[in-house]
Structure 1
Amino acid sequence: MSSRRRLGARWRRHRPLRTRLAMAASAAVALVAVGVCTAAFFVIRYELFHQLDLNLTQSVTLAIQQNRGAGPGVLAGECRYLSAPACAQVVPADPAKDPSKPYLLPVAPPVREVAAGTRNAYYTNITLPDGLPARMLTTTFPGGDKSLQVALRSDLVRKGVGQAAGLLSGVGAAGVLLAAALGYWVSRTGLAPVARLTATAEHIAATRDPSHRIELPPGPPDKEDEVTRLAASFNTMLGELEQSVTAQRRLVADASHELRTPLTALRTNAELLARAERLTPAQRERASAALGRQIREVSVLVNDLIDLARDEEPTPLLEEVRLAPLLAHTVDTARAHWPATPFQLELADASVTLPGVPARLARLISNLLDNAAKFSPAGVPVEVVLASGELTVRDHGPGIAPADLPHVFDRFYRAEQARALPGSGLGLAMARQVARAHGAELTAERAAGGGALFRLTLPPG
């Protein structure tokens, strides 16, 4: 079995798609043609023999009407096709009552059983003494303990069946040849758009120009065929690829710009500490603290860049994450990191779960809490609420200006009032990326009464 599968796979690899499509189409049409011819043959055969059986029934009726009270023996000895009576004879149930003259038709034990009334009438195919085929009906004969046998020649019926078989075989062969021609035509015309699509894809691969698009035929979208939809999907994929390449280039450019300033400060402080003997203890302490702070900022920036550049986690790493314990742990960590900001946690639905990666979900929540604490005045609480299907984080800071609201989740974007605060402008961008990777949606809005409200809408469970 495995060797057959390998041979089949090898055949599919070495046969071009056009040949496979032509053979599949030809085989389908050929099977239909052969099936129709076969069904027609059996219908014709059935109708011809059914008509012969009806003639036999009429012959029996006529023989009974013309020979009432007749004794055992041959009633008519000339078998004529579709004529009545023909080859008729009466057979008694008791062989001792048989006439001295031999019977023309064969008398088998079932014939005696029909005469005795222990068996129903039946049809059978026989061969007459002259060698011609015939069909015989054996039934009861009025008068008791006698059966009537009537036979009609079936050679013309068999000849008609043979002629029908020959004619339908020719029609089937012509259908197979026509199927082969149609399969070849379908493979050429049907795969012509695919060939053009392949040529376009090869051109894009050679030029590495994702801005190129495939021209689509005019017409409403609901009347597009499968190849046109394939080309449209290919154009959509090219658009996504172009956006991805553009985003990567922009990320590299923005990252190089954002890293230039902290790296310059690091080099300056490192050079300053290299001449530590010329500094006072207070100056060395300030330079060392600045150097450590800048190293942490660069580390956070690099980690954020890595997370933003990383694709979505693969499915095997996902697990059912209970958000309530994860949220409580993240809030406790935020309280330790922001001791001047109280965090109010409300778990309205502690049973909420989400398929995901716990570490990345914790990073998402941590970024939202850090952003809220950064803009909250000292002593003013940050409100965190987990309700059914939704997580909200609200601060009571200056809020988000209408001009900044569309750009809150852009990479490296920092509002006017945030430029004096620590941060790189990547936390919210990474939070949205993690949310979308888990099928959730993160939005920002101005809270009623002041402050900013971030809403994480969870996917339906």
Structure 2
Amino acid sequence: MARRPHLMLRTKITAVVVAAAALAMTLAAVMSYRGVSDLVGEEMERGLEDRTHTVHTLVSAGLAPPPRRGIADQVVSERGTVRRLTPSGPEIPVSAAALEVARTGKGGHLEDLVVDGTEYGVLTRPLPRGGAVMVAQSYEGAARVDDAFLWRVTGTTAAALAVSALLSWFVVGRVLRPVRRLARTTAHITATRDLTTELPPAGPDEVGQLTRSFASMLNALRRSRDQQQRLVQDASHELRTPLTSVRGSAELLQRGRGRLAAEDEEQILSTLVTETAALDDLVRELVELATDRYTDEPPATVDLAVLAEDTALRHRTRTGRTITVTTDDPLPVRARPRALQRCVDNLLNNAVKFSPADTPVVLHVEGCRLSVRDRGPGIDPADREAVFDRFYRGARTQSTPGSGLGLAIVHDSVTADGGTVFAGAAEGGGAEVGLTLPAAGPAPYAPVVGRRLRKHVPQARRIRE
């Protein structure tokens, strides 16, 4: 059976904490052990020197030193003859260095010797009347202290590690409790697809930040699903009318085959062509609105004035309409270039569609604001916000062909880039619809939209004049 993910994470974190504690404790134990060993060694050396000084003084005075456990005292003559001062202790071998001290009567010598399996520290000092005194001190006591300290440190470290592991397991469990709650909630959402499920409360720590991030993502998913559902409902409603018209016209042609007058057939076929074209436009705009082909397009610095000239030139060529571009201290903006190009195209398409053929359309750029003014029927004050809703058609434009998605696409694209849209009345009659985008900032920029129109800038200036 697979282990639960939160237990695996808990185990890993506990293992890391215990490993860090083990490393710190081991290092502290080793340093303490070395420090105590050095201290014991220094104490042993001082004790050997004190004993040697005492024996040296007593022997010089012709007295015998008192016996002491673990200590062997002896006198070495210049010829190497040994006289033991502590008969119960072992006889210490006389090394060449110790014999040299006895023969010359100068200096001193400290060495370690093993006698009968026991290690001794031996200190040799010369006597005033010749020869030398040798004092040997057993290291058995120091070894016992050393071993006892080592076992105690090892046992204490092991016990501390066990307590550390136990405390870490419980503490990490408490720390990960919000993560477990969040994991259970997200698993419930995944299994039930219920995006209305509330997430656990978010605290001020990193886990709380993670919870808030999940909440933001969940809200975005809710909005996305709601938008998709509304889009499907609105699309089904809008598609029903042209499809019904197409089906009715086709059934009429089928039933009246060969019996309809030529002008009636022509009218029915014209209706079929018109409704099919409307369906094609509606489906195309629905696909653009649903997929947002420019979502992954990176933002760039865009010159609104050059973009306006480019768009106006293309629409003049395609429609033959008079489209004028005016500017007032234009500023570069930050947006997705192709998405912004599509927005300006939709604004001009609306203006051309809803204004009389003999009236001009003005594209005005002021700072980071771009607007399109026409001489059409205008927009009622009550409809100025609703015109950006999907499939919305005002009372004055119900009979005009169109899907009602153009301005909705503009709204979604501009708001995605951090901008705003607006609609109002133009001076002299008609409507003014436009957008405002964030400025690109004072950094040097290179326009990425409308570059191919730079050779037409003189012509554009003449149009503005």
TM over 0.5: yes
Task: Name the counterpart of 1:254.
Answer: 234
Task: Name the counterpart of 2:362.
Answer: 382
Q: After TM superposition, give the deviation of residue 333 of structure 1 in Å.
A: 2.8
CA–CA separation in structure 2 for the residues paired with 1:460 and 1:321: 6
Please say if 1:336 is aligned against 2:324: no
Q: After TM superposition, give the deviation of residue 457 of structure 1 in Å.
A: 1.3
Task: Name the counterpart of 2:246.
Answer: 266
Aligned CA distance change for structure 1 residues 26 and 351 (closer, same or farther; 3 Å): closer
Please say if 1:406 is aligned against 2:391: no
Return the TM-score normalized by structure 1: 0.66
**Superposition map of 1:95-134 within 5 A:** 126-129=112-115, 131-133=117-119
Q: After TM superposition, give the deviation of residue 63 of structure 1 in Å.
A: 8.3
Please say if 1:40 is aligned against 2:28: yes
Q: Which residue identity lines up with residue 12 of structure 2 in the other structure?
A: A
Aligned CA distance change for structure 1 residues 203 and 64 (closer, same or farther; 3 Å): closer
Return the TM-score normalized by structure 2: 0.65
Aligned CA distance change for structure 1 residues 355 and 260 (closer, same or farther; 3 Å): closer
- Of all paired residues, the percent bearing the same amino acid is 29
Q: Which residue identity lines up with residue 295 of structure 1 in the other structure?
A: T
SS in 1 for 2:385: helix
* Matching residue within 418, 441, 444 for 2:419: 441
Task: Name the counterpart of 2:146.
Answer: 161
Deviates most, 23-32 or 255-264? 23-32
Aligned residues: CA RMSD: 5.2
Q: After TM superposition, give the deviation of residue 411 of structure 1 in Å.
A: 0.9
* Matching residue within 19, 26, 45 for 1:31: 19
Q: Which residue identity lines up with residue 409 of structure 1 in the other structure?
A: F
SS in 2 for 1:424: coil
Task: Name the counterpart of 2:396.
Answer: 417
Q: Which residue identity lines up with residue 352 of structure 2 in the other structure?
A: A
- Confirm or deny: 8 A CA contact 2:123 2:136 kept in the other structure: yes
* Matching residue within 286, 292, 301 for 1:305: 286
**Superposition map of 1:50-449 within 5 A:** 50-52=38-40, 55=43, 56=45, 126-129=112-115, 131-133=117-119, 154-186=139-171, 189-190=174-175, 193-214=178-199, 216-217=200-201, 223-225=203-205, 230-231=210-211, 233-270=213-250, 278-279=260-261, 288-310=269-291, 315=296, 328-344=309-325, 358=338, 360-376=339-355, 378-385=358-365, 390=368, 392-397=370-375, 400-436=379-415, 439-446=417-424, 449=427
Aligned CA distance change for structure 1 residues 355 and 204 (closer, same or farther; 3 Å): closer
Q: After TM superposition, give the deviation of residue 250 of structure 1 in Å.
A: 2.0
Gap runs ≥5 in structure 1: 1-12, 69-75, 90-97, 113-121, 142-148
Aligned CA distance change for structure 1 residues 29 and 154 (closer, same or farther; 3 Å): farther
Gap runs ≥5 in structure 2: 58-64, 83-91, 102-108, 127-133, 442-465
Question: What number of residue pairs does the alignment pair up?
Answer: 407
CA–CA separation in structure 1 for the residues paired with 2:326 and 2:122: 98
SS in 2 for 1:403: helix
CA–CA separation in structure 2 for the residues paired with 1:18 and 1:87: 70
SS in 1 for 2:198: coil
Q: After TM superposition, give the deviation of residue 423 of structure 1 in Å.
A: 2.0
SS in 1 for 2:388: coil
CA–CA separation in structure 2 for the residues paired with 1:173 and 1:206: 45
Q: After TM superposition, give the deviation of residue 444 of structure 1 in Å.
A: 1.4
Q: After TM superposition, give the deviation of residue 301 of structure 1 in Å.
A: 0.9
- Confirm or deny: 8 A CA contact 1:326 1:362 kept in the other structure: yes
